[in-house]
Amino acid sequence: MEYITPEQIMKEEARAASLGIGVGKLMENAGSEVALEVERRYGPLFGKRVLVVAGSGNNGGDGFVAARHLAARGSKVKVLLLSSPEAIKTKEAETNWKRLSESAVEMLVARDGSELSRLGSEFERAEIIIDAIFGTGIRGEVREPHATAIRLLNASRAKKVALDIPSGLDPLTGEAKGTTVKADVTIAFHKAKVGLKRRSEFTGQVVVVPIGIP
């Protein structure tokens, strides 16, 4: 398996952008590939209860796209955003959050721990949980409400799918930044991040999918 550092993936994404393949296209491709991989592993997806737990960055944006594609396959999808919609950090992620309102996806918001505690049963009901909280841009220790969301995710009996890297795992060093997702499978985009090496207790099986970077 070929590995890449966060700095290298930023350079490759910049090169893709110079060729006319922007972040929005990469995000759409990533979310589509996630739905395909989830269907391959856990399908048929019709009627399956799927919870996408999303942060406010581009990893969350990948999750929004995946949610839309999973709903198109007949899954009962809910997206839980761990911030206010106004705090979404990139225009590409914001665009895909807004697109969910035109789909069959149910949109939930937990701005803090108290709001999240009222949604704890969503983790128990889900059959598949998509971890789209943090990607390669994680900085420092995992804080609230993200830490509680990760604990609820880990305690669930659902199948757990991490997008690009399990949230809480440093993509460069593989260090667990406090509370960290323990996934059944990690779907890595383009190339596996170097921090995934020898961290199978968090990553589960690592699968690499193409997202359109030349």
Domain 3-209 has CATH 3.40.50.261: no
Number of H helices, E strands in the chain: 8, 9
**Mean of the pLDDT values across residues 188-209?**
97
Round to whole Å and give the CA distance between 162 and 185. Answer: 6
Q: Which residues pair with 106 in a beta bridge?
A: 78
pLDDT at 197 > cutoff 90? yes
Is the pTM higher than 0.85? The answer reads: yes
Tell me the CB-side half-sphere exposure of residue 83, using CA atoms within 13 A.
18
Per-residue model confidence (pLDDT) at position 140: 82
Give per-residue pLDDT as tens, 48-93: 999 999 999 999 999 999 999 999 999 999 999 999 999 999 999 9
Per-residue model confidence (pLDDT) at position 139: 79
**Mean of the pLDDT values across residues 13-25?**
97
Round to whole Å and give the CA distance between 64 and 97. Answer: 6
Per-residue model confidence (pLDDT) at position 192: 98
Per-residue model confidence (pLDDT) at position 24: 98
Give per-residue pLDDT as tens, 147-192: 999 999 999 999 999 999 999 999 999 999 889 999 999 999 999 9
pLDDT at 137 > cutoff 90? no
Give per-residue pLDDT as tens, 109-131: 999 999 999 999 999 999 999 99
Per-residue model confidence (pLDDT) at position 138: 85
Per-residue model confidence (pLDDT) at position 143: 92
Edge-first strand order for the sheet with 106-109 is 106-109, 76-81, 49-54, 128-132, 159-163, 185-189, 205-209
Share of the chain above pLDDT 70, in %: 100
For the chain, give every domain's residue range: 3-209
Give per-residue pLDDT as tens, 85-115: 999 999 999 999 999 999 999 999 999 999 9
Helices (H), the chain: 6-18, 23-42, 58-72, 91-100, 113-117, 120-125, 146-155, 200-203
> Per-residue confidence at 213, pLDDT binned at 50, 70, 90?
very high
Q: Cis check for the bond before 171: say yes or no (omega within 30 of 0).
A: no
pLDDT at 20 > cutoff 90? yes
First and final C-alpha spacing in the chain: 18
